[in-house]
Amino acid sequence: MHTIHLEQALRTNHWHVNDNQGLTLIQSPLLAQYKDRLTHAFTTRMGPGGAPAPYDHFNLGRNVPDEAVKANALANRKHLCTVLGANHDHLKVPGQVHSGTVVPILEATAKPDMANVDGVSTNLSSVPLLLHFADCVPVIIYEKKRELVSIVHAGWRGTAQAIAANAVALMIEEWGAEASQMVAAVGPAIGTCCYPTGEDVVEQLMLTLSSPLDGSLVKEQMAQGLVKRGSHDGQAEQAQPRPDLKAINAMQLLLAGVPEVDVCSFCTSCRPDLFYSHRQSGGKTGRQGAIAMMHSPS
């Protein structure tokens, strides 16, 4: 069973890049199958936003203490909502502090304190959820039967706190969801090609992949691909392990009982033409977004 999960988690798909009124968006082919009920998109840095370097062009992040950058990002968020037919007044944007915390959104017009939150779930139509990324893993989870959607921000810390699995558990607890009715998309994020890290990080990530059957760690699987070791692309011997954050998030979802997970093949650090990348840029850069919203059937 774990071997099947592992093969699934490591399989990446080519996602289509589309121009949407001058805005370059990426979609998961799996989630796009439910477009009658779910609008979703992963933004790129390409668009009409007009943010100056190093935030060029379509920055959505308001994390830098620069009022002009913040104002531009706000305008870009509004533009994104307009393009997708979403109501910006209802947009829910958590603070993102690399926690494992996911909260439910129960009222369209409420403004809950989400400063220390990295994941949101809702059962409400016409309430768009937006999170920001620059290498960290965006995950969108859709529950088809009860019409629920979640987005989480999973950097290595969030992944080590199993935030994707936390979102699954929250939907089950709050709304009686079933993991078997969920589909998930793991979006553009830093690839194992560009993510050398420490053994302590690897250890914490792997602790999230305990077997629900016998409680044992899935160690042999780690060796089989969730953590790359050795040289990459003929470069000098790479001493540091390179965990596959996208695959580890996919693995968490599969182990939680989500039957289908669509993993994006794009590495944000390899594609500075398309994406903001914290590592590639040396830390000073903008943020792309993952947005999702349910709507009544059209």
Among 194, 217, 238, 274, which residue interacts with Zn ion (rule: CB under 5 A)? 194
Whichever of 258 and 264 has its CB closer to Zn ion, that residue is 264
Whichever of 90 and 246 has its CB closer to Zn ion, that residue is 246
Contacting range for Zn ion; rule: CB under 5 A; set: 112-120, 132-140, 194-202, 283-291? 194-202
- Closest approach of Zn ion to the CB of residue 64, in Å: 24
Residues numbered 243-272 forming contacts with Zn ion, rule: CB under 5 A: 267, 269-270
- Closest approach of Zn ion to the CB of residue 22, in Å: 27
- Closest approach of Zn ion to the CB of residue 63, in Å: 23
Among 83, 91, 193, 274, which residue interacts with Zn ion (rule: CB under 5 A)? 193
- Closest approach of Zn ion to the CB of residue 267, in Å: 3
Whichever of 169 and 270 has its CB closer to Zn ion, that residue is 270
The Cα–Cα gap between 50 and 218 comes to 46
- Joined tokens for residue 216: 């044992």
List, edge to edge, every strand of the sheet that includes 148-154.
12-13, 260-264, 182-186, 137-143, 148-154, 119-122, 102-105
Q: What letter does residue 116 receive in the DSSP assignment?
A: T
Number of residues in contact with Zn ion, rule: CB under 5 A?
Answer: 6
Q: Are strands 12-13 and 260-264 parallel, antiparallel or unpaired?
A: parallel
Residue 143's SS3 state is strand
Amino acid at 107: E
Residues numbered 17-76 forming contacts with Zn ion, rule: CB under 5 A: none
Q: How far is CA 72 from CA 25, 103, 127, in A?
A: 18, 28, 22
Among 191, 241, 243, 289, which residue interacts with Zn ion (rule: CB under 5 A)? 191
Whichever of 33 and 238 has its CB closer to Zn ion, that residue is 238
Whichever of 155 and 191 has its CB closer to Zn ion, that residue is 191
The rounded radius of gyration (Å) of the Cα atoms in the chain is 18
CB 297 within 8 A of CB 37: yes
Q: Are strands 260-264 and 182-186 parallel, antiparallel or unpaired?
A: parallel
Amino acid at 251: M
Whichever of 58 and 195 has its CB closer to Zn ion, that residue is 195
- Closest approach of Zn ion to the CB of residue 194, in Å: 3
- Closest approach of Zn ion to the CB of residue 288, in Å: 15
- Joined tokens for residue 53: 């370097």
- Joined tokens for residue 205: 């990530």
Interface residues with Zn ion (CB under 5 A)? 191, 193-194, 267, 269-270
